[in-house]
Amino acid sequence: MLLAGEGGNKVHSVNQMSIAVGRSVMKMSLDEVLRHRSVQRGEPVLLVGAEAASRSVRWVHSSEVIDIAPLLRGGELLLTGGVVLSEVSPSRQRSYVRDLAARGVTALAVETASSGLGVPDALIDECAKHGFPLIRFDRPVPFVEITEGINGLIINDSVQRLRLADSISDALSAELTSGAGLQELTGALAELTGAAVVVRDRSGAVLTRAPERAADDAGEVVTWRATVAVHGISTANLEVLAAPGADPLVLEAALGRAPQAFALALLRAQPPTPRMRATRALFQHLRDPSAAHDDLDVLLANSGLAGTDAFVAVVTGGDDPGVREALEQQLQRNGRMAVGHADEHEYLALVALDARRPERSRRDLIDDVRQLGVLGPEHPAVGIGPLVSGSGGIPHAVAEARRCLQLDLADGETPRVVDAADWSLHRLVHQLDADEVLQRFIREQLGALLDEPSETRGRLLRTLEVFFDCGANKTRAAERLHVRRQTLYQRLDKLSASLGIDVTDPEKLGDLHVAVRLRNVLTGRGRG
């Protein structure tokens, strides 16, 4: 849990590097994979994406299926022989790349030496547009050797990490069982990792350290950090200051398991403060659908959110403490007041905005969250709810922030940060859950246009959509569509004839605009 007004931006010394620690899952870089002997046998050439060679590879998969993207999780190096790819149209090759990039796939490797077909130009061009790494194998190479070699390393490493983590958990649990306090536990972790360990409160003050004379700036060190949460409240930061040559497996295992033990030690030494208890009660209240909202003002004040009536809710899933820690810091940038709480399902936060300019303050918040470098494809998206006034609107803000992460958006359309303002119509449709009623309304408004041949229907609907987006300005609409004005006039005449009404009549624009937007939402196209 994040307490209002605590924490903030951290300043690291020049010789320190901060590393966010989450679950212990090995990820090789693309560059490391390309240098593996099984891959080198194919004489790989990185055609596109040299600047992305540091991207993580969490698995290697091979497939000739064109529609493979929905079956992937992100982070894969995808191997393909390219024969099927070369047989489809250039537009399909481009959509293949777009789908993979949107899914968060790390890179695509094509083996063309066996067929002699070469890598299609459309594939190369589309990869370049998206900065999506594309590799060509110049010699035949058995994909099974690559998948077994790389995936074997990943699996073996993960097993080793799990064993290390279990041994560290056992050692720290034994210390707690024997009555060890915070100082003794810190010393035990320092001995286990062979590094200096520092525990700080949310203001940055040192609670304990081991060895006791360890300095924060003792030579060149690498600082690994994790958040210690008591009852879901971010209470302290655990830092391990290791020499550059320290074993990263030990350090990651330690930071993955130690926070739970330190939370128990902190709970013994420092019972929750009144503000911590109030913050916990606030989020228990918000997560209870049957709770009366009369007490919200008192809970907000006791949690540190008094003095404003403009709020935004922020929610994300997953259980990566590194992501949550980074998100908390962004929420509190520029003096913003925020409280947050994590349970087994989600991390939920309330942010108090400047009541004098709430809309601008909300935009600044969204910009800060979008700057989060840790929000990679493998991490859950962040939902940011609408601006609400007064405590009575907070339950709605929370519900809509969650709804942002429940929307059934088209593949490749879901951003890492889902702003409720960008998906208003999607949220309404999701809440109504009345597709049949909405489809009848769409049919009533668009009528015969929906019965036109596919190509004609698509062109006319796109024309109508752009016409509305441009405020019925024909000159701007023609420019947006990249057609001559005479062509636009012909399309508008065709639309009027098909629908039996004048589509340029201001009195008709509202109903038609809503119908077009609703159709886009229900068919998975466009924002609204």
CA distances from 373 to 6, 133, 363, 416, 488 (A): 22, 19, 18, 11, 43
Residue 57, classed as helix, strand or coil, is: strand
- Reduced to 3 states (helix: H, G, I; strand: E, B; else coil), residue 203 is coil
Q: How far apart are CA 194 and CA 241, in angstroms?
A: 9
Closest CA to 29 of 52, 61, 47, 62: 52
Q: State the Cα–Cα distance between residues 59 and 149, nearest whole angstrom.
A: 11
The confidence score (pLDDT) of residue 21 equals 33
H/E run at residue 443: helix 435-446
Residues contacting residue 4 through CB under 8 Å, at least 6 positions apart: 275, 279, 303, 304, 305, 337, 338, 339, 352
Domain at 434-522, CATH from 3.20.20.70, 1.10.10.2840, 3.40.140.10, 3.40.50.300 = 1.10.10.2840
| Cβ(108)–Cβ(135) below 8 Å | yes
| CATH superfamily of domain region 274-431 | Ribosomal protein S10 (3.30.70.600)
Report the DSSP pairing between strands 134-137 and 196-201.
Answer: unpaired
Q: Rg of the Cα trace of the chain?
A: 27
Alpha carbon distance 172, 161 (integer Å): 17
Q: Are the CB atoms for 272 and 231 separated by under 8 Å? A: yes
> Strand locations in 248-322, DSSP E?
310-316
* Angle CA 372–14–228, to nearest 5: 50
Q: How many other C-beta atoms are found inside a 10 Å radius of the C-beta of residue 473?
A: 12
| Residues of the chain where predicted confidence (pLDDT) is lower than 50 | 1, 3-25, 411
Domain residue extents for the chain: 18-23+157-269, 42-140, 274-431, 434-522
Assigned CATH topology for domain 18-23+157-269:
Beta-Lactamase (3.30.450)
Alpha carbon distance 522, 459 (integer Å) = 18
Residue written as tokens 């060190």? Answer: 221
197 vs 174: CA distance, rounded Å: 19
Distance linking the first and last C-alpha atoms of the chain? 33
Task: Note the pLDDT of residue 22.
Answer: 35
The Cβ-side half-sphere exposure at 103, using a 13 Å CA radius, reads 22
Residue 5 tokens, joined: 């007004």
Pairing of strands 107-111, 134-137: parallel
Of 303, 316, 375, the residue nearest 342 (C-alpha): 316
CA distance 467 to 390: 38
**Rounded-to-integer distance, Cα 499 and Cα 448, Å:** 6
Answer yes or no: are the C-beta atoms of 226 and 263 closer than 8 Å: no
Of the CA atoms within 13 Å of residue 192, those in its CB half-sphere come to 27
Q: Three-state SS for 348?
A: strand
Query: What pLDDT score was predicted for residue 24?
Result: 39
CATH of 42-140, one of 3.30.460.10, 3.40.1390.20, 1.10.10.60, 3.20.20.100: 3.40.1390.20
pTM of the model: 0.56
